[in-house]
């Protein structure tokens, strides 16, 4: 049931693991109540919820949905508002990533990558807009530095993130002045779960001016700043990439 809530409320998609979980912990520590979404990682989400509830009771809501199903997206917003009575922030973190070498690309891969990485954030923003205007809230989209430069054998992924970057700017224009919309574009933060050869890691690190990978905490700090503190910033993408985009 809806209840009066004086704390700000954020919905974070893809919150169960990796960067999404760190964003959730960072926002929670900053005083946000959270609606936390997952697709398949329900066990990890329940563990995160238990951790956060132990720190502050009655502060979280677990949600599970396939963001590729556009019909389910408004229900995530409705459930959040029904639970907390308000919505102050939307963090579109959930993402799908895999290679699509040219010559093997399928329509199914296109649909899957664009549904998760571009369509879902747009329709969630549309469903959330009325509530965010009421609270003078904010949206942060997680894009990628490869929205700006191609990653070998990942054309469709890069195109989907480029679409999200454009959506960020378009939403910032259309939802102003009541809602700010920005993006964070991570660089090398976490190695892929399937691993990466040591030589490939060394080659990548040699192209990063700061000489190291970033951390999920680096990304989460940028998200928090855009949501809470950057009150005169909208339509912008903050690169959290150690300077990677400065070089070849």
Nearest CA-CA partner of 184 in 224, 131, 244: 224
Region at 224 (left for phi over 0; alpha for psi -120 to 50; beta for the rest): alpha
Would residue 157 show up in a list of annotated catalytic residues for this protein? Answer: yes
What are the backbone angles phi and psi of residue 185, rounded to the nearest 5°? -110, 100
Query: For the stretch 44-72, what's the b/e string if a residue is b when 16 or more beta carbons lie within 10 angstroms of its beta carbon?
Result: bbeebbeebeeeeeebbbbbebebbeeee
Token digits for 69?
């199903």
Catalytic residue among 32, 98, 146, 157: 157
Token digits for 149?
């430069």
DSSP state of 40: S
Q: What residues act catalytically? A: 157
């Amino acid at each position: 049931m809806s209840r009066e809530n004086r704390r700000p409320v954020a919905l974070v998609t893809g919150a169960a693991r990796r960067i999404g979980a760190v964003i959730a912990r960072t926002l929670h520590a900053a005083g946000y109540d959270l609606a936390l979404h997952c697709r398949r990682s329900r066990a990890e989400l329940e563990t995160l919820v238990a951790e956060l509830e132990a720190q502050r009771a009655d502060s979280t809501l677990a949600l599970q949905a396939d963001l590729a199903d556009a019909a389910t997206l408004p229900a995530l917003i409705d459930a959040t508002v029904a639970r907390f009575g308000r919505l102050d922030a939307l963090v579109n973190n959930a993402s799908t990533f895999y290679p699509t070498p040219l010559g093997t690309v399928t329509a199914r891969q296109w649909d899957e990558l664009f549904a998760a990485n571009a369509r879902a954030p747009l329709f969630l923003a549309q469903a959330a807009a009325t509530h965010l205007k009421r609270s003078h809230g904010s949206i942060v989209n997680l894009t990628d530095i490869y929205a700006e430069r191609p990653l070998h054998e990942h054309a469709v992924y890069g195109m989907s993130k480029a679409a999200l970057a454009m959506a960020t700017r378009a939403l910032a224009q259309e939802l102003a002045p009541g809602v700010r919309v920005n993006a964070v574009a991570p660089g090398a933060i976490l190695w892929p779960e399937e691993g990466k050869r040591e030589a490939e890691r060394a080659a990548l690190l040699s192209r990063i001016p700061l000489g190291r990978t970033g951390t999920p905490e680096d990304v989460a700090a940028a998200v928090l700043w855009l949501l809470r503190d950057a009150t005169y910033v909208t339509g912008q993408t903050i690169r959290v990439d150690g300077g990677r985009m400065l070089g070849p």
